Structure 1
Amino acid sequence: MYDPTIFENLKVAFENHVYDLDNIDHKIHITNRVDRMDLSILAREFAIQFTLVTKQDVIAEIVLKASLEDLAGEILETPGKQLGCSLLLRFNKRVQNVNLQCTKIEQALNNIWENEIQLTQTLSYVYEQKASGYLNTIDIEFIHKINEDHMDDITDFLDHVLETLEVLHRI
């Protein structure tokens, strides 16, 4: 009998919770969804992108990944391995005052997510376009892998994501 992987179970759980925030609670608007199997490295990736319904200037994306090592370790029941999926949050926000806004973003996100993250901000702009600021791609990578033991934390996690969207909107 087919036994779903940790990745499949987490993907469905995240998907259900996020779609409830869109279709039932009407707090967010889903703008994109990716479910990818990378055959070159035998890895899985699920991503879902959304904005707040009332404030669409900041985009959030939840990215769940499972490597070949994670998937094989689970299927082969390799003992002593920390099995699970990698979790990444990505936010896209336009900034004008780079030094001020990026510093405020770093402080705010470290307050919301505490010590469990690795934060990276990447600034970009389109060459030869009139300067309307920079696109700040904010990656929040979680240090520890997640698995089915974290299913009960998804609601709180999404509350923090919504809080982050609100905070980024104000900065």
Structure 2
Amino acid sequence: MFDPTIFENLKVALENQVYDLDNIERKIIITNRVDQIDLSILAREFSVQFTLVSSRDVTAEIVLMASLDELAGEILELPGTNLGCSLLLRFYKQVQNFPIQCKIIEQNLNDIWEDDVELSQTLSFLFNQEEPSYLDTIEVKFTRKINEEHMGDIEDFLEHVLETLEELHSI
């Protein structure tokens, strides 16, 4: 009998709640979904991108990842292994006054996400653009692995993602 992995169980639970926010609650619009197996390193990755219905200028992306070590440790039932998945959030926002806006973004996201995250911002721009604007790719990387014990936290997690989208829209 097939026993789904931690990755599969988390992916289905996360995907269901995100799609409920789109189809039932109509708070978000899903703009992209990726479910990949990297055969060169035997890793899994699931991501879903979405915007708020009320403001589409900021995009959120939730990325769930499992490496070969996590998948093999679970399937082979290796003792003493820290099994789970990695979780990463990305937000995409256009900024004009990046020295000020990026500092505000950092402060506000640290207030929302508090502990156990690594926050980074990467700026890019199009050459010869008439009005200079920068794409700020904001990454919120969770330092702890997640597993099925965290399924009950998905609803609160998604509320924080929505709060972050609203906050980024207001900056």
- TM-score computed with the length of structure 2 as normaliser: 0.99
**Alpha-carbon separation, structure 1, partners of 2:107 and 2:71:** 35
Deviations 1:42-84 (A, max 9, x none): 0000000000001000000000000000100000111111100
List aligned pairs for 1:1-171, cutoff 5 A.
Answer: 1-171=1-171
DSSP-derived class of the 2:22 partner: helix
Task: Calculate percent identity across the aligned residue pairs.
Answer: 68
**Alpha-carbon separation, structure 2, partners of 1:130 and 1:73:** 52
**Alpha-carbon separation, structure 1, partners of 2:66 and 2:130:** 40
**Alpha-carbon separation, structure 2, partners of 1:145 and 1:47:** 16
Instruction: Give how far 1:126 is off.
Output: 1.3
Deviations 1:2-57 (A, max 9, x none): 00000000000010000000000000000000000000000000000000001000
Moved over 6 A (4+): none
DSSP-derived class of the 1:102 partner: helix
Instruction: Give how far 1:128 is off.
Output: 2.1
> Residue 23 of structure 1 aligns to which amino acid in structure 2?
N
Structure 2 runs not aligned, ≥5 long: none
**Alpha-carbon separation, structure 1, partners of 2:131 and 2:74:** 49
Instruction: Give how far 1:127 is off.
Output: 1.6
DSSP-derived class of the 1:29 partner: strand
**Alpha-carbon separation, structure 1, partners of 2:60 and 2:70:** 25
Structure 1 runs not aligned, ≥5 long: none
RMSD over equivalenced CA pairs, Å: 0.6
